[in-house]
Amino acid sequence: MTDSASNAKKDSTLESFIALVRQDPELQAEIKAALNQDQVISIAASRGYEFDSLTILRKWSKHTNFSKDTWMGWFEE
């Protein structure tokens, strides 16, 4: 798999995970309690969603206004 194909797959996986998090209040609370992106990645992996920190970075500007931790911008509050 090429890097761009691999990145696209990880991006799609992250998008799917974010959609799941937005629909699952318990998972949302778990993500909000995460202390760092490694914990977020581990939580995702435990549910079968495989992506890395670079994937989060690529999507950061799409999901946050930069005033909060990366993954906190996934939630509308």
Query: Which residues lie below 8 Å from residue 60, measured CB to CB, with a gap of 6+?
Result: 66, 70, 73
pLDDT in tens, 4-36: 899 999 999 999 999 999 999 999 999 989 888
pLDDT at 54 over 70: yes
Name which residue leads in pLDDT, 42 or 68. Answer: 42
Give the per-residue pLDDT at 65: 55
Contact predicate 40/3, CB 8 Å: no
pTM over 0.85: no
